[in-house]
Amino acid sequence: MQEYIWVTGIILKQAPAGEYDRHISILTKERGKVSAFARGARKPGSRLTAATNPFSFGQFKLYEGRSSYTLAEADIQNYFDQLRSDYMGACYGLYFTEVADYYARENNDDSLILKLLYQSLRALCAQSLPNPLVKCVFELRMIAVNGEYPGPPGDRALEESTLYSLHYIVTSPLEKLYTFTVKDSVLNELEQISAEYMRRFVGKQFKSLEVLQTLSGFRTPPSQPGENPAETG
């Protein structure tokens, strides 16, 4: 008799496999990043179709095989439906899942990454929060979760509100992470810092970010202090 496990997680990505199946990646609380096959998930009317779309959060019943898992059942608590009808929000969400996929590892304790991803997807659904701010907070806290945050940059003058925001982003409980907004000049400084730190500590150009930049028309802020339009001097 096959043994199975239940895991709690978020679908990071899915791809076609065979004629009717899907290959999925799940960020789980119990086993880090897990790959699995969802048999028949691409068949019309399959109960696994919606459950294997990116952003789906819930419990997943997996059978363990010799080289991979097979998804048998799913109990989804949040599909993040708002992102499915918000194209730009979905692009930000796909960027977040790609970053989480980059950082997560199999059989690792990635519960903090999972929690950060979940809260960040929720923040994208909140109309009161601008997506660029959510992106900055996500990037900076992800760097902090992985123990790489170096503190505020010491080579430039920053607004007091920017310094306070940086401290809050890296120290606040994840449940309260997205409970503030900032003025445009502070957001500009946060964007410049998060872009600089992503270059320094990640150094990877994510495909979803390239798409997002094309669609939104923004460019990665410059890393040189003299080129920072929000620098107060």
What is the mean pLDDT of the segment spanning 140-152?
97
pLDDT recorded at residue 231:
34
What is the mean pLDDT of the segment spanning 164-178?
98
How many helices (H) and strands (E) the chain has is answered by 7, 5
pTM of the model: 0.90
Kindly state the percentage of the chain with pLDDT values over 70: 92
Residue 227 pLDDT level (bands cut at 50, 70, 90):
very low
Residue 205 pLDDT level (bands cut at 50, 70, 90):
confident
pLDDT tens-place string over residues 89-102: 999 999 999 999 99
Residue 84 pLDDT level (bands cut at 50, 70, 90):
confident
Mind giving me the DSSP string for 70-119?
EEEEEEEEE--HHHHS-HHHHHHHHHHHHHHHHH--BTS--HHHHHHHHH
pLDDT recorded at residue 232:
30
pLDDT recorded at residue 65:
82
Mind giving me the DSSP string for 143-190?
HHHTT----S-SSS---HHHHHHHHHHHHS-GGGTT-----HHHHHHH
- Ramachandran area for residue 202 (φ above 0: left; ψ -120 to 50: alpha; else beta): alpha
More confident residue, 107 or 138: 138
Residue 225 pLDDT level (bands cut at 50, 70, 90):
very low
Phi, psi (deg, nearest 5) at residue 142: -65, -40
Residue 34 pLDDT level (bands cut at 50, 70, 90):
very high
pLDDT recorded at residue 219:
53
- 4-79: CATH topology is OB fold (Dihydrolipoamide Acetyltransferase, E2P) (2.40.50)
pLDDT for 7 beyond 60: yes
- Residue 66 is given by DSSP the state S
pLDDT tens-place string over residues 43-66: 999 999 999 999 999 999 999 887
What is the mean pLDDT of the segment spanning 147-153?
97
Kindly provide the b/e burial profile for residues 40-59, where b requires at least 16 CB atoms within 10 angstroms of the residue's own CB. bbbeeebebbebbbbbbbbe
Residue 228 pLDDT level (bands cut at 50, 70, 90):
very low
pLDDT recorded at residue 220:
55
Q: How far is CA 4 from the centre of its chain?
A: 27
More confident residue, 44 or 226: 44
Separation of alpha carbons 186 and 178, rounded Å: 15
